[in-house]
Amino acid sequence: MNINKLATVLVAVSSLGISAVSQASGEAGDIYVAPFGSYLHPGGDTQASDGWGAGAGVGMVINRYFNVEARGFWHNYRNDIPCCGGGETDLLGASLDGQFYFMRDRFSPYLVASLGGMRTELTSRYFNTHATSFIFEAGGGGSFTITDNFSLRGDVRYRINTLPSNVGGEGVLNDLVVNLGFEFKLGQL
């Protein structure tokens, strides 16, 4: 094989690889939807047991490193606060996420930071109460491309909740949230 043929083959293979990476990662301006299920491990002074939830996000690829995503979620867990006779807590909230991708490939790891709001509703044997608070989340995750328009995605987040102590207990309320879901690319609008 002469040098010209070898160079032609290498250029063709390289361009196919670059094309596959750009298709797997999405193009700047691509819109996507991302439904997910969640496992919640409440922390702080909630005296709660683990819970579950679900949600969905709508996002946009900004460039090869950044996505921005608006998300809504619902979580539920049981608690054993002595004054309240046990009960259940529902968390209903929304956030705006910034995602930083280290690389875009078939597997794409990322860091996430989030700012949002959440309504906490405590229902117990003796009383019902609710409050609204700001939340801050930070974590990391990854997406795994199955097809050009479909990816599996998961992340782990640490959540700080600014809920007043008269609703949720003393001190800082914090949660560990594990999300697992899908990402469907819709293309550019």
Q: Copy the structure tokens of residue 94.
A: 């929304």
Burial state string for 58-81 with b = 16 or more CB within 10 A and e = fewer than 16: ebbbeeeeebebebebebebebeb
pLDDT of res. 7: 45
- pLDDT bin (cut points 50, 70, 90) of residue 130 is confident
Which fold would CATH assign to domain 3-188? Porin (2.40.160)
Domains of the chain, by residue range, sit at 3-188
Nearest to 167 by CA among 76, 95, 83, 93: 83
Higher pLDDT: 125 or 172? It is 125
Digit-coded pLDDT (tens) for 52-103: 999 999 999 999 999 999 999 999 998 776 666 678 889 999 999 999 999 9
Q: Which residues contact 90 (CB under 8 A, 6 or more apart)?
A: 74, 75, 76, 120, 121, 123
Q: Distances in Å between the alpha carbon of 40 and those of 23, 28, 54, 83?
A: 33, 32, 10, 23
pLDDT of res. 95: 98
Q: How far is residue 66's CA from residue 60's CA, in Å, rounded to a whole number?
A: 9
Instruction: Pick the range with the lowest mean pLDDT from 18-32, 66-80, 93-107, 128-142.
Output: 18-32
**The dihedral of CA 60, 42, 102, 148: what is its sign?**
negative
